[in-house]
Amino acid sequence: MSEMPESTRREYERIGREREAASREADRDYLKELLRVCAEMLAWTVAGLFFGGLAFWLATIKASKALFSAPRVFLTAATVLLAASWWARTLPAHVKWSVAAYTVFFVVAGQSFNDYWGFVAAIPYALAITYGPDGLLMLLRQAFPRRTARAA
C-alpha cells in the first residue's frame, strides 16, 4: 500500500472533524424538534382532557331522557345535584362509586362526539341525582353549623 501524503491525511482528518461536528449539531437540532413536538402534543392532550373531557361528561349527563331536550339551566342543576350527591349519607356505595368511575373515565378519555355513552351512565347518574338534595343539605350543615347556647 502506498503511503498517503501528510497534507491529504490532515485534510481527511479535518473533513472527519467537520462531519462529526455537523452530525452532533444535526442531532441537537433533531432533539430540540423532538422535544418541541412532544411538548406540543402534551399541551394539546392536557387541553383536550380539561376542556374536551368536561364537554363530553356534560353531554353524557344530557343524554338521559329527562334532560335530552331540557334547557341548559336544568343541565346545570342536574350537574350540581350529581356532584352534591357524593356527600349524601344515604347514597348506596355502588351508585357512588359507579358515578365516580364513569365521571373520571369520561372526563379523562371522553370525546364530545361519543355522547351515546350517556345512555350507559344514565341509570347511576339518575339514581345519584335523586340523592343530590340530601348531599346539598349535608354540605350546608357543614358550612353553617348551628351554634349552641353557652352554659351560664
- Report if residue 34 sits inside a domain: yes
Cell 341509570 sits on residue: 123
One-letter amino acid identity for 37?
A: V
- Report if residue 150 sits inside a domain: no
Q: How far apart are CA 122 and CA 82, in angstroms?
A: 11
Which 3 state secondary structure label does DSSP give 121?
helix
| Percent of the chain residues past pLDDT 70, beyond the cut | 85
Other C-beta atoms within 10 Å of 139: how many? 15
Q: At a CB cut-off of 8 Å and minimum separation 6, what does 130 contact?
A: 85
- Confidence at residue 93, expressed as pLDDT on a 0 to 100 scale: 93
pLDDT digits (tens, 9 = 90+) for 15-69: 999 999 999 999 999 999 999 998 988 887 777 666 666 677 777 777 776 777 7
Q: How far apart are CA 97 and CA 39, in angstroms?
A: 34
Give the residue numbers spanning the domain of 101: 6-143
Q: Which of 40-44, 86-90, 111-115 has the highest mean pLDDT?
A: 86-90
The structural domain count of the chain equals 1
- Report if residue 149 sits inside a domain: no
